[in-house]
Amino acid sequence: MHAIEISDITKIYGKGKRRIHAVNKINLIIEQGQIYGLLGPNGAGKTTAMRMMLNLIRPTQGNVRIYGDDVRQNHAILRRVGMMIEGASFYPYLTGRKNLILLARTHGLTDMNRVNRVLEIVKLSDRADQRFGTYSMGMKQRLGLAGALLHDPDLLILDEPTNGLDPNGILEMRLLLRDLVDNHGKTVCFSSHTLSEVERLCDNLAIIHKGKIVREGNIESLLTEQTQLRIKASPSEKASAVLSPQWRVCDTTTDGLFLEATADDAPHIARALVNNGVDIYEIIPHRQSLESFFLDVTSGDDQL
Amino acid sequence: MTALFRAEWLKLAGNRWAVTFLVWIFPMSALFMSVGAIVIALLASAGSPETLNDMSQFLTNWQGGFLSAWMFPNSDLGRFTLIIFTAIVFAGEYQHGTWKNLITRRPRWVIMLNKFFTLGVFITIAFTMMSLFVGVGSIVLGQIVGHNMGVFDANSLGEFIRDIITQMGLTLVTTFIATGYTALAAMYTKNIIGTIFTSLLITLGEPSILLLVSLGRSLLHIDLFPLYLLTPTHNFGNIRNAEMGYEPFVPLAPEGFVPFSVTVSWLILIGWIVCLIAFSIRNFNRQDITA
């Protein structure tokens, strides 16, 4: 059974000319026991998609299933989900501990030791009796994560969980999420626009742009799919003119010519260049970074 | 459900500034005033009979103190403070962005109903305390100043129980109606200040439907009077007049008009509560939570 199955969800705001597709026919399957990243620029539709997963927003069309149950038909399925959406939100006049007690009671938990346990996990025990309103951004995020973990959920849906955390906090969060998935069988779906974080943490990812998924899959295979070849040749202008009809020239720098091509294309490229009188000094497979891949797929509308 | 009630209670009671200055201030003021009056009476009893006589004039019978406290929430000041408090309770969830924590854990209708219920219990406790402080204080004061507080027997006790239940009922009914308006206002404005203004406008402006009745008759020759008869204001007044033994007074009533019975007025008020709560739940169920 899939942890999350999203079918054709669409969210449209406004009417007539002011109609905006915040999310446009997204289909997604997130298997259990993995960390899945939703990557996208600001306003891409990540948070709206996550809110629909949690039944906070009604989709204009489509549905979301969590562990096989439609979230709009069976609310109880959300009790298996822990979430933090758009930062941690708590009552500023209550202490961190009381905010968690309140959530525990709302959830119907009877074991209040769980509150202390999650405070320890997020390393907030010593500040738990201060009012939430006095917390720093990082402490708020930690409490938000504590709230999400409180009922020991099977699935965590976290929107930008590392926002406001210092480097140590980010590392701890990464280790914690990895531990939850690898050693406790949990599933994590999280969004971010921090590419390095996604690259380090995720097993699979989807890139959302303008409300649509433009790429989806395992990070390794996505980056391999987009392998480039770096070619040092002279004269470089002529090399570019020879190759561009057949391969996409991504960039031309002092380091050489970057072509969208696989290693299998190398002999063909070499032959074409030699036949046209271009001298070759190097042909090196160049693995694209997630950053350049992300920028490639989110630039312009041609990918949509 | 008990856990959910305790969660809401923790939230209400934890908002110390709001709860102190908008709710507990009434029983606390009643306590201080009662104790103060008793101390003054004790001091005056040593040699100032005029003061005792003056104080005696503020006292009625032993039931009076208990009942008067329950009338306070129906005053403009009482409604004003309760609207601010309920606005903080409902709109505060939007302002703090905390709805999402709650409605992913329990169905929305359960959360909303629990809010109404907890508020009702909270306000009942606060005004029961106020009623006790004023009532017991009045009796003690009556003893000190030598005021005749009336007979305490089975008859007067039975009458008192009936009166206090009516008064409590009226207070809770009007409080729930105001709370219903506030919950709806919170859903549309999503902030505390906007909710307070909108709820005040509806609650305090509701009697102005009489102006519409008058304008309808004189300008458009349409009789909106039957609509006025369905308003909480009219039915609340109808019940209070009947309880006080006053002649029914219905402004702009046509010739030969027969007012509703007390039972019908109660049913209309309860109908308002049911409709407002149902409407709040329906709207909340359909609302996108984007904060």
pLDDT at A226: 63
Model confidence band, residue A303 (pLDDT cutoffs 50, 70, 90): very low
Q: What integer pLDDT is reported at residue B256 of this predicted model?
A: 80
CA distance A222 to B27: 67
Question: Under a CB-based contact definition with an 8 Å cutoff, are residues B190 and B94 in contact?
Answer: yes
Element housing A272 (H / E): helix A266-275
The residue of B11, B101, B190, B283 whose CB has the most chain A CBs within 10 angstroms, and thus the best one to mutate to test that interface, is: B101
Cβ atoms within 10 Å, residue B260:
19
Sequential DSSP letters for B18-60: HHIIIIIHHHHHHHHHHHHHHHHHHHHTTT-HHHHHHHHTT--
Do A91 and B96 lie within an 8 Å CB cutoff? yes
Average pLDDT, whole number, for chain A?
A: 89
Which residue's structure tokens are 């063909």? A268
B105, A82 Cβ separation under 8 angstroms: no
Q: How far apart are CA A279 and CA A270, in angstroms?
A: 9
Nearest residue on chain B to A85, alpha-carbon basis: B100
Q: What CA–CA distance (Å, rounded) separates A163 from A167?
A: 11
Query: How do residues A184-205 score in pLDDT, each as one tens digit?
Result: 999 999 998 788 888 888 999 9
- Closest by CA to B160, choosing from B269, B28, B70, is B70
**For residues A115 and A104, is the Cβ–Cβ distance under 8 A?**
yes
CB atoms within 10 A of CB B272: 20
Q: Which long-range contacts (CB under 8 A, 24 or more apart) does A162-168 make?
A: A162/A192, A162/A194, A162/A197, A163/A87, A163/A137, A164/A87, A164/A136, A164/A137, A164/A138, A164/A140, A165/A138, A165/A141, A166/A138
* Nearest by CB: B14 against A56, A85, A98: A98
DSSP class of residue B149 equals: -
More reliable by pLDDT, B143 or A297:
B143
Residues B251-279: pLDDT tens digits?
A: 887 888 888 899 999 999 999 999 999 99
> Nearest C-alpha of chain B: how many angstroms from A67?
15
Chain B hits for A90, CB-CB cut-off 8 Å, are: 96, 98, 101
CA distance A153 to A80: 5
- Give the amino acid at B179: T
Q: Which residues of B touch A85 (CB under 8 A)?
A: 100
Strands of A248-253's sheet in order across: A248-253, A256-260, A228-234, A279-286
For A1-34, the pLDDT digits (tens) are 899 999 999 999 988 888 999 999 999 999 999 9
Position with higher pLDDT, A116 vs A226: A116
Q: Which residues of B touch A148 (CB under 8 A)?
A: none
Given a cut of 90, whether residue B222 has pLDDT beyond it is no
Identify which of B4, B15, B290 has the shortest CB distance to residue A106: B4
Terminal Cα distance for chain B, rounded: 26
pLDDT of residue A302: 43
DSSP A131: B
Residue A176, Cα to own-chain centre: how many angstroms? 17
pLDDT at A301: 53
Q: Strand A212-218 vs strand A248-253: parallel, antiparallel, or unpaired?
A: unpaired
pLDDT at B271 (0 to 100): 97
Amino acid B56 reads S
The dihedral sign for the CA sequence B212, B214, B218, B221: positive
Report the distance separating Cα B197 and Cα B188, nearest Å. 12
Residue corresponding to tokens 């309760």: B82
Q: Which residues pair with A257 in a beta bridge?
A: A231, A252
Contacts of A132 (CB under 8 A, 6+ apart): A90, A91, A92, A93, A94, A95, A96, A99, A140, A143
* Chain centre distance of CA B197: 18
Long-range contacts of A221-227, Cβ-Cβ distance < 8 Å, separation of 24 or more: A222/A293, A223/A287, A223/A288, A223/A289, A223/A290, A223/A293, A224/A287, A226/A260, A226/A288, A226/A293, A226/A296, A227/A261, A227/A262, A227/A263, A227/A285, A227/A286, A227/A287, A227/A288
Taking an 8 Å cut-off on Cβ atoms, the answer to whether B4 and A93 are in contact is: no
Residue B282 has a pLDDT of 96
Q: Cβ separation of A81 and B98 shorter than 8 Å?
A: no
Q: Convert the pLDDT of each residue in B109-161 to its tens digit.
A: 999 999 999 999 999 999 999 999 999 999 999 988 888 888 889 999 999 99
For residue A285, the cross-strand partners are A229
User: Cβ contact (<8 Å) for A89 and B98?
Assistant: yes
For residue B66, the surrounding DSSP H or E stretch is helix B62-71
Q: Which residues of B fall below an 8 Å CB-CB distance to A?
A: 3-4, 6-7, 10-11, 14-17, 92, 96-98, 100-107, 111, 286, 288-291
Please judge whether B17 and A93 are an interchain contact, meaning their C-beta atoms are less than 8 angstroms apart: yes
Residues of B with Cβ-Cβ distance to A110 under 8 angstroms? 3
How far apart are alpha carbons A235 and A251 in whole angstroms?
Answer: 15
Q: Tell me if residue A183 falls in helix, strand or coil.
A: helix
Residue A235 preceded by cis peptide, ω within 30: yes
Locate the chain B residue with the closest alpha carbon to A55: B104
| Residue A91 pLDDT class (50, 70, 90 cuts) | very high
Q: Point out which residues pair with A84 in neighbouring strands.
A: A158
Write out the H or E segment, with its range, that includes residue A47: helix A46-53
Give exposure, A127-151, as e/b (b: 16+ Cβ within 10 Å): bbeebbeebeebbbbbbbbbbbbbb
| Candidates B95, B100, B105, partner chain A, best to mutate (most A CBs within 10 A) | B105
Q: Inter-chain contact B105–A106, Cβ cutoff 8 Å?
A: yes
Average model confidence (pLDDT) for chain B?
A: 90
Dihedrals phi, psi of B195, to nearest 5 degrees: -65, -40
ipTM reported for the complex, 2 dp = 0.87
* A80-98 mean pLDDT: 95
Give chain A's domains with CATH numbers.
Answer: 4-221 (3.40.50.300), 227-287 (3.30.70)
User: For residue A37, what are the β-bridge partners?
Assistant: A190, A205
CA distance A247 to chain B (A): 45
Q: Mark out the alpha helices in B98-216 (DSSP H runs).
A: 99-103, 108-145, 154-189, 192-205, 209-215
> In terms of CA atoms, which chain A residue is nearest residue B92?
A91
What pLDDT was estimated at residue A294?
A: 80
Task: Say if the Cβ atoms of A78 and B105 lie within 8 Å.
Answer: yes
Q: From chain A, which residues contact B within 8 Å (Cβ)? A: 51, 54-58, 75, 78-79, 81, 83, 85-87, 89-94, 98, 101-103, 105-110, 147, 151
Sheet holding A35-39, edge to edge: A81-84, A155-159, A187-192, A35-39, A204-209, A212-218
